[in-house]
């Protein structure tokens, strides 16, 4: 049986801390939140000499004073799931306050959180369409053709983005292709007279693709002093935004050269 300060128990606690840190980072948590959670979990089991290095692509945990145990995990894919971050925060508080909760039981709870789904695909798609169409309406696209076309286009664009992400796992490329689809639909509907201009549909439909949350998290990391993570997140968001602009710009340039009008 593992004692409180046995090498095996320490390894298990560090692995648990690494696992929850990985889950938080994968679901879009800020760097400072990930590091703080890892350190609190380790300190709750009296392992106080722990160093943590976190960036958007890697987590490293090590003991800098005693035995030198070190664990590392690379992060390949990231998304935004605020519900899972909330569940992970609640779990970490429970683990810190409940000294009787074993590492094995804690890992089981974390695996349950991994497989939880916040909302069904139908609700997510409907909310995406309503949000995009409503944004277009705020910009004077408050007519039925614009609302319906933006509603449908935004949903299909997000579906295209998700499908491409499963193949390439490159957000910028997926955003580029999805934005090409959005601009193409806008140009076609304007050409056949359904819409007076493609601008409102394009602006509304690209809203789900914009990396606003990632950019804000990058700024938050910079303010907190996590320079590497902050610059990386902000740069990643910038590249994604540029890819969206390029996708829309390519189609609109072709359409204007063919005689279209904005």
pLDDT tens digits along 121-157:
889 899 999 999 999 888 876 788 899 999 999 999 9
Torsion angles phi and psi, residue 61, rounded to 5: -120, 135
Residue 143 DSSP symbol? S
- What is the rounded distance in angstroms from the CA atom of residue 57 to the CA atom of residue 39? 19
Cross-strand partners of 198: none
Q: Is 53 left (phi over 0), alpha (psi -120 to 50) or beta?
A: beta
Helix axes 103-114, 82-97, angle to 10 degrees: 170
Question: What is the pTM (predicted TM-score) of this model?
Answer: 0.80
pLDDT digits (tens, 9 = 90+) for 156-197: 999 999 999 888 878 889 999 999 999 999 999 998 888 888
Among 34, 21, 26, 38, CA closest to 76: 26
The helix/strand/coil state of 163 is helix
- Give residues with Cβ within 8 angstroms of 237, minimum separation 6: 211, 212, 214, 215, 218
Joined together, the tokens standing for residue 185 give 């639909």
Average pLDDT, the chain: 88
Q: Is the pLDDT reported for residue 214 higher than 90?
A: no
Alpha carbon distance 202, 175 (integer Å) = 13
For residues 69 and 60, give the distance between their C-alpha atoms in angstroms, rounded to a whole number.
Answer: 11
Domain ranges of the chain: 7-114, 121-257
Closest CA to 15 of 40, 35, 42, 34: 42
CA distance 48 to 127: 45
Instruction: Say yes or no to pLDDT of 3 above 60.
Output: no
If you average pLDDT over residues 225-236, what whole number do you get?
Answer: 84
């Amino acid at each position: 049986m593992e004692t409180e300060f046995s090498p095996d128990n320490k390894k298990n606690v560090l692995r648990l801390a690494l696992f929850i840190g990985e889950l938080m980072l994968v679901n879009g948590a800020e760097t400072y939140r990930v590091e703080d959670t890892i350190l609190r979990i380790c300190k709750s089991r009296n392992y106080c000499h722990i160093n943590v290095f976190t960036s958007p692509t890697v987590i490293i945990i090590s003991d800098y004073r005693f035995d030198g145990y070190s664990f590392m995990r690379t992060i390949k894919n990231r998304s935004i799931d605020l519900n899972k971050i909330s569940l992970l925060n609640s779990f970490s508080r429970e683990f810190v306050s409940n000294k009787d909760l074993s590492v094995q039981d804690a890992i089981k709870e974390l695996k349950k959180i991994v497989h939880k789904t916040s909302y069904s695909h139908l609700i997510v798609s409907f909310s995406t369409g309503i949000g995009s169409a409503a944004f277009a309406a705020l910009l004077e696209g408050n007519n039925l053709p614009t609302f319906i076309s933006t509603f449908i286009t935004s949903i299909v664009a997000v579906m295209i983005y998700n499908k491409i992400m499963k193949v390439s796992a490159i957000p910028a490329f997926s955003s580029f292709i999805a934005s090409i689809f959005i601009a193409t639909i806008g140009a076609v509907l304007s050409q056949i007279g359904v819409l007076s201009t493609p601008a409102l549909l394009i602006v509304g439909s690209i809203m789900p693709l914009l990396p606003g949350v990632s950019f804000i998290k990058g700024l938050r990391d910079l303010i907190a002093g996590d320079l590497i993570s902050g610059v990386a997140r902000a740069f990643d968001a910038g590249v994604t935004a540029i890819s969206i602009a390029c996708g829309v710009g390519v189609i609109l340039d072709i359409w204007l050269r063919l005689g279209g009008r904005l």
